Structure 1
Amino acid sequence: MVFAYKRIEARIGEYIAAHYHNVIEVGIGRNTDVAALCARAGLRVRATDIREPPEVPGVESRVDDVYAPDLPWYAGADLVYAVRPGVEMVPPLIDLARAIGCDLIVYHLGNEIYENGGEIIDCGPVLHRYYRP
């Protein structure tokens, strides 16, 4: 089961690395696999959480709250993404992506979705693109 779980993160990271260059993971928590894979692929990677994020080689991180984000820190990103966020985080994630003019992709926990589920991206695991400028 652990293998399947990490395979999901690998597929998400591979998709992001193939389509984006400057990405931010919101709500990284302790699951750093996607950010680490993107950094190893040569992307600029930033990560936030409401608690101090763990150090990950090649990933800039800081404490930030998606409900009151420090917008200048997000400047230049072409993607904001979240892996298994609470569904209540999706509206402020959409607002953040809209404010900085970048895509928003979410990988949900289980069968959760927000509203109509956005644009579906099937890269193995199903991703939801909720905003694209």
Structure 2
Amino acid sequence: MVDGAEKFIAEYILKHYSGPVVEVGIGKYTAVADHIHRSGILIRTTDIIPEDEMSDAPGYVKDDILSPDIEIYKGADIIYSIRPPEELQVSIARVASAVGADLILKPLGSEIVDISKYFKHFEVVNLGGATIICYRS
């Protein structure tokens, strides 16, 4: 079940993108990716956790965004990450820019890095229950 901020994020992605979608740094919380997957959108999820520990994550592939396998991200319409640490945001932006995907970040509090140079446009979107930053190529 998706509720709260995560529900707003999943619904925003479903409203604006038809896929494929990639979530970077999924961790153990798969609700957003599950919601997108159940809607019929092709989704891939990544993190540094071994694949045998991530059987619940839809389309999971182990990948280190600091040294990414770019093939995992090619063809994505949108890449998103929920609460990525500051030290990962530039790497996520580089990958999204390299494959021509839009990027959505839901930062943790004030953990925001200026990655605008990787995109033509960006905007802060208040979804009611969540504030996200949308970067568009």
TM range (shorter): 0.7 to 0.9
Bigger drift between 93-102 and 114-123 goes to 114-123
Shift in Å, 1:110: 2.0
Shift in Å, 1:76: 0.8
Look up the match of 1:19.
Answer: 16
- Identity across matched positions, percent: 38
Look up the match of 2:132.
Answer: 127
Look up the match of 1:94.
Answer: 93
Per-residue CA deviation, residues 14-72 of structure 1 (Å, 9 max, x unaligned), is 11111112100000001111100111111111000011252237x21111011111111
Contact 2:89 2:115 in 1 (8 A): no
Per-residue CA deviation, residues 68-120 of structure 1 (Å, 9 max, x unaligned), is 11111211100110001101111001100011000011001123222388520
Shift in Å, 1:121: 1.4
Whole-Å Cα distance in 1 between the matches of residues 15 and 56 of structure 2? Answer: 20
Runs of at least 4 residues off by over 4 Å: none
Q: Give SS of 1:115's match.
A: coil
Q: Which amino acid in structure 2 is aligned with residue 55 of structure 1?
A: S
Q: Which amino acid in structure 2 is aligned with residue 119 of structure 1?
A: E
Gap regions ≥5 residues in structure 2:
117-121
Look up the match of 2:74.
Answer: 75
Contact 2:30 2:56 in 1 (8 A): yes
1:56 equivalenced with 2:52 (yes/no):
no
RMSD: 1.9
Shift in Å, 1:6: 3.6
Q: Give SS of 1:112's match.
A: coil
Q: Size of the alignment, in residue pairs? A: 127
Q: Which amino acid in structure 1 is aligned with residue 107 of structure 2?
A: H
Q: Which amino acid in structure 1 is aligned with residue 37 of structure 2?
A: A
